[in-house]
Amino acid sequence: MDHYQRLNVSRSATKPEIKRAYKKIALLCHPDKVSEDKKSQAIEIFSSVNEAYHVLSDPELRRVYDQDLMFQKTNTQLERGLMGLKKKKKKKKKKKKNNKNNSKIKIQNENFTTTTTTRIKIPLSRCKTLNTNTPILKKTKPILRKHNTYHFKKSKLKPTRKIFWFTLEQAYYGSSQIIDFERIYYDQKNSIVKKKQSKIRFLIPKGARDGQEFAIERKGNKKVNYQTADLIITIRAIKHNTFTRNGDDLFFIKKISLVESLTFFNFKIQLLNKKMLKLKFGYDESVVKPGKQLVLNGIGMPKFNNSEQFGDLIIAFEIRFPVTLTLRQKEMLLNTFSEEEKN
């Protein structure tokens, strides 16, 4: 059933006629106006009617759809004609097999006094044993020409590509975004017929990573006698001010002075979930050495395949050494460490 039959209109119907037919059918089969046992069937019919109205109400989509219908009709007629020829030739072949092929020869009577001749019917299987000057008739097989059947399959256009930039917060929570993109309509000669700005709602899943590609079927460019191209959305991450990402782990660099690394210090980190993480160091006998890292499990990014599991937060300490020290400061440090070595 094509779109015209779904809306119960002719192929020459105008746009107002199509709109009236759509409203009439949509009111009858709307899922909210039927009982629960018929709701699934109503949803299916309602979606097919919506699709038909979407195509036929757009002049460009309708023109392409009409061309496809004509193409399919011509292909069907061609296949039927070829099948008819094959059936006729099969019937002729059967008739030839059923009929006994008889050869006819002419001989004179034994008296040889008359000029009249008689016709004798001899089976073809016995023609080879006759001692006459008549030619031997051979069985010939009928020549059957094979007719090729062409199955026309539409090729698919190359995918339409779109880059979408996302933040770490969107990948942490998952986000639904409206994406604007351009669809190009081509004719058979690959010339651009028109360009149309379209919108689509795109869901960024939790744990989405930089460079991932998501394909949306039949939402890309269009060309006559070709399948509609897919839309491929490539997501790229925007650089975050606080964290850097490696897979499911988050990295945070904390810069501290040499004095802080040897004594004690406090600092706070605001996580992606808006919670504040408070940390204290140096309130025991430990010191922060260059290259030290602190790993906090389970507070990184959610995993792409399982959003209930999380990566780690890794805190790396960067110690800033002083550019210069006075002689007094050096003596104080020397006395401090020398006393500690003696102890």
For residues 228 and 295, membership in a common domain is answered with: no
Instruction: Tell me how far the alpha carbon of residue 45 is from its chain's centroid.
Output: 25
Which residue positions in the chain have pLDDT lower than 50?
A: 100-120, 122, 124, 126-153
Domain membership of residue 117 (yes or no) is: no
Domain membership of residue 131 (yes or no) is: no
Structure tokens of 178? 């409206």
Domain membership of residue 75 (yes or no) is: no
**Which residue from 146, 129, 145 is spatially nearest to 137, judged by alpha carbons?**
129
For 2-40, the pLDDT digits (tens) are: 888 888 888 888 989 988 888 888 888 887 777 778 777
Domain membership of residue 334 (yes or no) is: yes
pLDDT at res. 239: 94
Domain membership of residue 126 (yes or no) is: no
For residues 250 and 333, membership in a common domain is answered with: yes
For residues 251 and 334, membership in a common domain is answered with: yes
For residues 50 and 17, membership in a common domain is answered with: yes
Which of 202, 218, 237 is the last residue before a domain boundary?
237
For residues 255 and 289, membership in a common domain is answered with: yes
Query: Which contiguous run of DSSP H or E holds residue 277?
Result: strand 276-281
Structure tokens of 114? 């008359």
pLDDT at res. 77: 60
DSSP lists the bridge partners of residue 103 as 122
For residues 219 and 264, membership in a common domain is answered with: no
For 238-296, the pLDDT digits (tens) are: 999 999 999 999 999 999 999 999 999 999 999 999 999 999 998 888 899 999 999 99
- Residues 29, 35, 36, 41: is their CA dihedral positive or negative? negative
pLDDT at res. 68: 78
Domains contained in the chain, number: 3
Domain membership of residue 102 (yes or no) is: no
Helix, strand, coil share (%) of the chain residues, nearest 5: 35, 30, 35
Query: CATH number, domain at 253?
Result: 2.60.260.20
For residues 249 and 230, membership in a common domain is answered with: no
Which of 206, 237, 268 is the last residue before a domain boundary?
237
Domain membership of residue 153 (yes or no) is: no
Burial of 168 (0-12, 13-18, 19+ CB in 10 A): buried
CB 186 within 8 A of CB 173: no
pLDDT at res. 98: 57
Query: CATH number, domain at 36?
Result: 1.10.287.110
Instruction: Tell me how far the alpha carbon of residue 75 is from its chain's centroid.
Output: 27
Query: Which residues form the domain of 212?
Result: 160-237
For residues 186-213, one letter each, b for 16 or more C-beta atoms within 10 angstroms of the residue's C-beta and e for the rest, the string is beeeeeeeeeeeeeeebebbbbbeeebe
Query: Measured between alpha carbons, how far is residue 330 from residues 60, 122, 258, 324, 337 in Å?
Result: 83, 135, 14, 10, 11
Which of 217, 237, 257 is the last residue before a domain boundary?
237
Give the DSSP letter string of 318-333. Answer: EEE--S---HHHHHHH
pLDDT at res. 74: 66
pLDDT at res. 90: 67
Query: How many whole angstroms separate alpha carbon 310 and alpha carbon 50?
Result: 42
